[in-house]
Structure 1
């Protein structure tokens, strides 16, 4: 019985690890040419996903790379008013530690045999138990697991659902080696997350383990084609930085200085989600996990759900090694309920972030008044 996993993200690799632990053969097909072919992005807040890493026998190794100080948080208003500062004691439990995406991926890859991942395999289609790749190669499968992210091609085998824009557009920038190059800005951002919320936009800066600070400028209630009309010249970094500063009228000079100091890589990203509570009729030979199954607003749940998907699908397959359809049905029943609840919570948080008084609402969320929850 051959299990094919399309996508070497956190969910797909966790599934491969669980299957390896239980003596079940699986192959991961990944379109990247190698593990170092591209950057993996910023930090992940791992909380409920720690259960998956325990099941996978990797929790101690995870704690060794997790950044407890990444739990630090500062919340401000555009005029510079500090609303909340939480500094994590060195001996605090790792309830929501941050971890570099690349470090987490390396942890999972290093836990697998070298031949478990086949690189440079871009999935094109599947029919009659055969996978077809862009390079003309093919492979057989008995169970196909789509772990291929937001724009999943495997998803089309199960549902017509597609991601839709949610009215949020993000411009991502960063400052490498910030402690040496801009120590004043490094001290301002601190060790964890630094949030500034205004009316219809926000600045979210986050310290990474490699000494870089990644910054996202979030523009809410904007159309899908907003980048085309925003006046941001993405092919001219200096002019793009200037335009971004223009889009922050009245903001404290410390925040605009953060944008002015950013490096030349400036990336636009439109935010999309799958329909809330998406399900599909169970198939005996295909299933999905992670963003392929339940793409949510980026408020800290997606990676955790993907890790849990991989672990729990692996446990179901280990419990029914000769009955993939039963394993898939059990997994999907639990996954739909669990991720549906997470998606609803994420949508509520997204609505909060869209509000004109988002900063005050977040303050109440993190520090509720006595007698309230």
Structure 2
């Protein structure tokens, strides 16, 4: 039987798995449908906390600290009328407990740590069985263990469970202001160095400074149906008109917040958020497992990337401990992963409920200032 470890998906979790396996002298093959590492943008900043354990196992923690932004830990929380509820500015010498890092930079760090040709670009997974995975180009490849690291819409997941992501009642419009320090210094000073949240009226505005000088903005609309964008009147094919409509939807908000929307460029992207059932498990299979969003897609409140990194590292450690017994390694990994990520998913669901509550800003203030 082949002992090839085949990883579907070159996201953070799949790459962490490949890297920690490599550190322990075990090679793998990563199949990624995107044609190259730079085929698309990788999103905004990530708050990496528990995931630092995975980077330590990968031998990359020092290099991670070189690219992480400690000032990204700064936080400002406001209400729609402009009331500042909470501000925390991180001292320059503060420990990097929850630093922000650009997702693209972190992915690049992992990719650069792997041997050449570990990742096979432009190789889209279609199906698998009897020790063979099948690719969209008509070719097949053998595997001893197949790991689905292929995200929210995982195709590998169907080999283990019928569970599918469901809409959580939140729709987000993603936008951004490029080079904000030069183009809008007043708004740059208002947002600060890290995270800027405005919560209330069933909506939120989250502004987050990226490492490239762009401020990424997400407008969330809570308790809205999955097809809400179709009825919202937001013309996404006309960015200027879309910004105007979004400004209308923020009627009554402080003009400083609508100024952020007006300053955005023409990248206006709608996203409907979904999750997998909290605490999802499946019967063990000897030659297939999942990690990251493929296994436990949860609300985007800061845990997903950390759990994916840990999944990859801990699965690799289990495989290194049982190099001749993949089924035992998978059982060991899944037992730990189900417990750890189930707890994270429950916490994330509670945070999501908080954000969707009518008094979200005040409840979040109590979260930051308990007692």
Q: Quickly name the TM-score band, shorter chain normalised.
A: over 0.9
Is 1:198–1:358's contact at 8 Å kept on the other side of the alignment?
yes
State the Cα distance separating 1:25 from its structure 2 match.
1.7
For 2:39, the equivalent position in structure 1 comes to 37
Structure-2 residue corresponding to 1:13? 15
Aligned position for 1:303: 305
How many residues end up aligned between the 2 structures? 369
Q: Report the Cα offset of residue 138 of structure 1.
A: 1.5
Q: TM-score, normalised by structure 2?
A: 0.99
Whole-Å Cα distance in 1 between the matches of residues 308 and 87 of structure 2?
30
> Which residue matches 2:288?
286
Distance in 2 between residues matched to 1:231 and 1:136, nearest whole Å: 42
Superimposed CA distance per residue, residues 228-276 of structure 1 (whole angstroms, 9 cap, x where no aligned partner): 0000000000100000000011000000000001000100000000001
Alpha-carbon shift at residue 204 of structure 1 (Å): 0.3
**2:215 matched residue in structure 1:** 213
Gaps of 5+ in 2: none
How far apart, in 2, do the equivalents of 1:21 and 1:49 lie? 17
Q: Is the 8 A contact 1:129 1:142 kept in 2?
A: yes
Deviation by residue 1:121-168 (Cα, 9 ceiling, x = unmatched): 111111211111111122111100000000000000000000000100
Contact 1:199-1:355 at 8 Å conserved across structures: no
Match of residue 186, structure 1, among 185, 188, 191: 188
Q: Which residue of 1 aligns with 2:161?
A: 159
- In the alignment, the residues of structure 2 paired with residue 170 and residue 149 of structure 1 have an alpha-carbon distance, to the nearest angstrom, of 19
Query: Secondary structure of 2:94's match?
Result: coil
Q: 2:121 aligns with which of 109, 113, 119?
A: 119
| Offset, 1:178 | 0.7
State the secondary structure of the residue aligned to 1:217.
strand
Residue pairs, 1:34-113, within 5 angstroms: 34-113=36-115
- Per the TM alignment, residue 279 of structure 1 is displaced from its structure 2 partner at its CA by 0.2
Whether the 8 Å CA contact 1:130–1:140 is kept in 2: the answer is yes
CA distance in 2, matches of 1:152, 1:137: 20
1:198 to 200, 203, 206: 200
CA offsets 1:86-129 (integer angstroms, 9 cap, x no match) = 00000000010000000000000011001110000111111211
Q: Which moved more, 1:214-223 or 1:123-132?
A: 123-132
- Structure 2 distance, partners of 1:20, 1:344, is 33
Deviation >3 Å, runs of 4+? none
